[in-house]
């Protein structure tokens, strides 16, 4: 019996989609500018999935992304922010109509908001980390598979402020 090649691809695809929910992470460093940053920008370090692609929006935003499966990707978006309080962070992270519940807490050097899904039909989740220092504030939004919320928390918890890279 011969199966059409399309059918073989459909049957094989789910096996190819299953990947570890804990990707290997690597440290990256950057500088972002914008609202909430000092004149020279805000320097940061954070851990992202190893091999993630960097997409820059000028000097305003760094986005690291890596494909996970057809339903979710690993993404870490870093940008300067004027947010300086946990209350403001909770307000900023709340979007009506979405199926998640924001949970805020203070952490060393800032605060974090976990956007945990409230429905099993939601396949992705997000964690927002905020750090505030002399050079300004920075926010990292770490998103990926909802089943890997602990990995997202770990990635965003690694956000640190460092001296901004000198501009050429």
Average pLDDT over residues 91-101: 76
Contact present, 151 and 135 (Cβ < 8 Å): no
Output the pLDDT for position 13: 43
Residue 135 pairs in a beta bridge with: none
pTM of the full structure: 0.82
pLDDT (tens digit per residue) in 21-75: 789 999 999 999 988 888 889 999 999 999 999 999 878 999 999 998 888 899 9
Residue 16 has pLDDT above 50, yes or no: no
Average pLDDT over residues 86-109: 85
Mean of the per-residue pLDDT values of the chain: 85
Q: Beta strand 61-69 with 25-32: parallel, antiparallel or unpaired?
A: unpaired
Average pLDDT over residues 69-92: 91
Output the pLDDT for position 151: 95
> By three-state DSSP, how is residue 151 classified?
helix
Strand (E) or helix (H) holding 87: helix 86-93
% of the chain exceeding 90 in pLDDT:
58
Domains along the chain with CATH numbers: 25-162 (3.40.1000.10)
pLDDT band at residue 112 under the 50/70/90 scheme: very high
- How far is it, in rounded angstroms, from Cα 114 to Cα 117? 9
Q: How many helices (H) and strands (E) does the chain have?
A: 3, 10
Output the pLDDT for position 64: 97
């Amino acid at each position: 019996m011969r199966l059409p090649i399309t059918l073989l691809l459909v049957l094989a695809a789910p096996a190819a989609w299953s990947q570890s929910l804990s990707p290997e992470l690597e440290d990256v460093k950057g500088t972002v500018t914008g609202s909430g940053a000092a004149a020279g920008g805000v320097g940061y370090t954070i851990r992202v999935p190893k091999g993630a692609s960097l997409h820059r929006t000028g000097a305003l935003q760094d986005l690291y992304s890596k494909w996970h499966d057809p339903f979710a990707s690993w993404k870490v978006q870093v940008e300067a922010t004027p947010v300086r309080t946990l209350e403001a962070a909770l307000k900023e992270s709340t979007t009506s109509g979405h199926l998640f519940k924001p949970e805020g807490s203070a952490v060393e050097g800032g605060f974090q908001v976990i956007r945990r899904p409230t429905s099993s039909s939601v396949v992705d989740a997000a964690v927002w980390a905020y750090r505030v220092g002399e050079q300004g504030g920075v926010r990292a939004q770490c998103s990926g598979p909802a089943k890997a919320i602990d990995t997202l928390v770990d990635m965003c918890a690694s956000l640190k402020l460092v001296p901004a890279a000198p501009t050429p």
